Amino acid sequence: MGADDMSKDVKGKRPRINQKIRRVFHGPLSAWYRSQARDLPWRRTQDPYSITVSELMLQQTQVVTVIPYYHRWLKQFPTWEALAKASENDTLKAWEGLGYYSRVRNLKKLAHQVIERGGNLPEDPGELTKLSGIGPYTAGALASLAFGKKAALVDGNVMRVFARVFNWSEAITDRSTQQAMWEVARNLLPEGKHCAVHNSALMELGAMVCTPNKPLCSSCPLQTICQAIDPEKLPVKSRTLTEKKNERVALISKNGRWWLEPGPTQGRLAGFWRFPEFDRKKMKLGDLAAEFTYGITRFRVRLRAHLARWKSPAVNNGKWYSTEEMERIPLSAAHGRLRKLILTQQPVSPQIS
């Protein structure tokens, strides 16, 4: 393809979309999607509630992880009304392990907002962004996928496709680049009911073909217009530093029960329980029971869990839980791994000298 077919403006950040480019995005790409798309449960419905649940679950989370959570969630909370009436403990427990817990809190708030509106989501993207947990991407997804509206969306998969097709050299972490990609997404939209297929196809292409590593370029329906010289080097991202943290946790048991403490009253782990942090002034340390690392936002956390006991009677605002009771309360993903260790291995009450 020549430079006249896909040139950039003077700022170097906004590809000019001509009719040839649109024809490839609207023709081969849509045809590929109709024949190759994965059969995912949220693609079998146009119910706005079910699609909203899937969209919030899929933020920062892989499809294979989401599917069982999605099925369990809809079985437990099948409607906006059921979710609005559910307790915080039940919703957090149902979301346990998915992480990014602001999503479930926003979904609960959203349920109340929908009920206040008479039980229906608005169909306009601008109105959708006024509700809890719905940003520009989610608004575009809901408007197009649930209501058949002409609405653009840009997520990580779409950014990767655009960066490669247009050989985009600017970092996608830059706000100006993101704004330019939204402009491209809007310029590429087809009319009417075809918008849902177009948006779904863009995301599916990024997930299944235009993948971060080893993209399947020979199978790509956009290969005739793709300008990427070295696709695996695109998109360009600003370098982010990962901070390392250490976490030392005490596993304290008494008469077959385990000591747990409530998490913070605010923030992402509000409403969750946890095993206590080791405090050498109050506790005596025993054998190492578990050690692993986990990621959270920009941190890489090394967690060590030791068997321990109180030096004096517990005075913290915690509670003793039996193993059966522990299974009914929400724990963060990392502390959920410790609970699983206890439930499967049943370590004996530590004999600490």
User: Domain boundaries in the chain?
Assistant: 19-233, 243-345
Verdict on whether the full-model pTM lies above 0.75: yes
**Amino acid identity at 216:** L
Contact 214, 50 (CB under 8 A): no
Task: Read off the pLDDT of residues 56-95 as tens digits, 9 standing for 90 and up.
Answer: 999 989 999 999 999 999 999 999 999 999 999 999 999 9
- Residue 16 CB-half CA count within 13 A: 11
Listing DSSP states for 309-340 in one string gives EESSS--SS-EEEEHHHHTTS-B-HHHHHHHH
β-bridge mates for residue 299, sequence order? 243, 296
The predicted model gives 332-341 an average pLDDT of 89
Helix or strand or coil: residue 64? helix
Given a cut of 90, whether residue 108 has pLDDT beyond it is: yes
State the pLDDT at residue 211: 96
| Residue 344 confidence class, pLDDT cut points 50, 70, 90 | confident
β-bridge mates for residue 305, sequence order? 249, 290
Helix or strand or coil: residue 18? coil
Task: Read off the pLDDT of residues 24-37 as tens digits, 9 standing for 90 and up.
Answer: 999 999 999 999 99
Alpha-carbon gap, residue 71 to 48, rounded angstroms: 15
Q: Which residues are catalytic?
A: 55
Stretch among 161-165, 187-191, 196-200 having the lowest mean pLDDT: 187-191
Enter the tokens of residue 317: 């605002």
Q: Output Rg (C-alpha) for the chain, integer angstroms.
A: 24
Percentage of the chain beyond pLDDT 90 is 69
Q: What is the mean pLDDT of the chain?
A: 89
> 19-233: what fold?
Endonuclease III; domain 1 (1.10.340)
Contact 95, 101 (CB under 8 A): yes
Burial of 123 (0-12, 13-18, 19+ CB in 10 A): middle
State the pLDDT at residue 268: 75
**Amino acid identity at 102:** S
The yes-or-no answer to whether 19-233 and 243-345 have a common fold is no
Helix or strand or coil: residue 190? coil
Given a cut of 60, whether residue 2 has pLDDT beyond it is: no
Q: Per the omega criterion (within 30 degrees of 0), is the bond before 235 cis?
A: yes
Q: Which CATH class is domain 243-345?
A: alpha beta
**CA-based max dimension of the chain:** 79
Count, residues in the chain: 353
Task: Read off the pLDDT of residues 246-291 as tens digits, 9 standing for 90 and up.
Answer: 999 999 998 889 999 998 877 778 888 999 999 988 999 999 999 9
